[in-house]
Structure 1
């Protein structure tokens, strides 16, 4: 087993094979003896441009790649390649490094930038260039940047068209189907790794995925957390149960009165019974039981029986049958037109 001390000593030995400037640049870039420094900071120290610093760093990394062929630290590159293959040939940098540390049995406090440099020196791998809105990642050349970006764009297109979170498996199946003609059969693990790269896509707790801007899978406000809780439940919930679920999911103690007020004042929620709430997007409408009955009459031709009305009301309101019957006796809005038959009162 390679120890953390062996990795550190081995890396230092490799650096000693470089020129003094190459060694210094790489050590300062990874914070080997302190804080990481930017290209600009190193350039200022040497009186050279940041591009020249980058060139020196690249030359040093290529030299490390040649030295690694006979180094015991090649075990790190071998582990990285093995783990990448298990994830479809692409993986975000931090997750890959954590997996390598666990695979080899290194101390998690090891400077992760050492492993980063050794992976960059692996001729079998490529590392992404910095890009806004993404996590940096390593990949095999056959998993091209074009493929990665196309998969991401397809995921965003599908999610936008849906307008709501999707089960991860459903999204990945759709991506595979839509991109089959272009890339052949795509691996689910590879698609999953691609989703980790882009910050505008969020995988939530459980099996769902959505766009970050929706705030559904990564809720910040109490309203968003209530929406998340109801979506997770997929059924009506009492406001006390919503409060308890928020505490369970997010570790946040919520006052019953606070969540109740939040549900009352936001139009995204609809009260359908005594303290029972649903999401408006599920097709529920605000209003009293009488409003619901009158709406049912509008949508149906001809009178309806008490049983028919009750059945339709109970699909969208959690109320007692006696409450429905009492509202049918409101002669200002409803009239009886036969034995056990009712309709909206005509003008």
Structure 2
């Protein structure tokens, strides 16, 4: 059973009532007005959009380094308020609950998914601000390899990164996406939820439309172009489709792709991409199939040539029609018309066809 992003009933019940926004506001009010504004802008507490050090520095006419100092000094001051003066007793209990949530999710969690698990999706900036005020959790900033995440202990971080390196190598070796169950069988001592949390932090790995983990660079896992989406949907459907129907299915399918960017899918765009895609073959009027299904590229005449060329014996008209209809959605009369090309096809005394050499 797939477990990632599925939280046990009751897990967030005790969290969702914690007044994240109110506690954040009360804490920040202990700072002077300039520090309040700088910290609020740095964490996005006002509008949900954190600003860079440089942007804040320009607004206050100070250097980036000075902004960093003010933020760090403010956090240190507020930590003392919380831990020494016990200014927000309920916050200490909340940190314990956060730690337990992390433990239940493999001891680390991608920041946005942690916010969801805590019932704070709409208050993620306030949650992140509060999490920066405890020394009991470890913060790992976003890099080229991983998304921002939080962990119970720093040592869990290297374990996760080492495992992810191993999974990337494994997928490259197999050259195929694997389900969470298949990954479990390949890896020892990792519970499904732990494995899922580790996978979710990686930028190199994505969950495909069919619930398998693969490399983000693989078009069949993470399609980014209309051409790759058309190929993937055709493969998923398992049968030839008219390009207009294919465009409709792609539009319905978009939310399943890792890049959940829903855009209008134009039938003509799909048609143009199918024409250029060597993986696809026209099998009828506007209808396309995949070459990997055994369909031969080319015109009806070229298909007949291929059939006769691969046959060990000369073929009767009926056999040619039957085999061609397996490859193309055309009328029998169209096939017979093509057979009349005497420069390519000839009949023997028995009426069987063969190729002109």
2:110 aligned with 1:99? no
The alignment partner of 1:101 has SS state of coil
Q: CA deviation at 1:101?
A: 2.4
Aligned residues: 332
Change (3 A) 1:24 1:329: closer
Matched, 1:186 2:190: yes
Partner of residue 244, structure 2: 240
Deviations 1:26-55 (A, max 9, x none): 556424467745456569848966775676
1:227 aligns with 2:231: yes
Q: Matches of 1:79 and 1:38 in 2, distance apart?
A: 30
1:11–1:177 Cα change, 3 Å: same
What secondary structure sits across from 1:271 in the alignment?
strand
In structure 2, relative to structure 1, the CA distance for the partners of 1:334 and 1:3 (3 Å cut) is closer
Give the match for residue 202 of structure 1.
206
Alpha-carbon spacing, 1:296–1:212, altered in 2? closer, same or farther (3 Å): same
Change (3 A) 1:157 1:271: farther
Task: Say whether 1:128 aligns with 2:140.
Answer: yes
Please list every run of 5 or more consecutive structure 1 residues that lacks an aligned counterpart in the other structure.
103-107
Confirm or deny: 8 A CA contact 1:239 1:259 kept in the other structure: yes
Distance in 1 (CA, whole Å) between partners of 2:263 and 2:15 is 42
> Given the superposition, is the C-alpha separation of residues 290 and 132 from structure 1 closer, same or farther in structure 2, using an over 3 Å criterion?
same
> Could you tell me which residue of structure 2 aligns to residue 105 of structure 1?
none
Match of 1:172 among 174, 177, 180: 180
1:295-319 per-residue CA deviation (whole Å, 9 max, x = no partner) reads 2344444445667655654444334
TM-superposed deviation, 1:115: 1.6
Cα distance in 2 between the residues matched to 1:294 and 1:17? 84
For structure 2, the 5+ residue unaligned runs are 1-13, 255-261
CA RMSD in angstroms comes to: 4.4
2:90 aligned with 1:72: yes
1:30 and 2:43 correspond: yes
Q: For residue 158 of structure 1, report the CA deviation from its aligned partner.
A: 4.8
TM-score (norm 1): 0.71
SS in 2 for 1:144: helix
Secondary structure (helix, strand or coil) at the match of 2:307 reads helix
Q: Deviation at 1:272?
A: 1.2
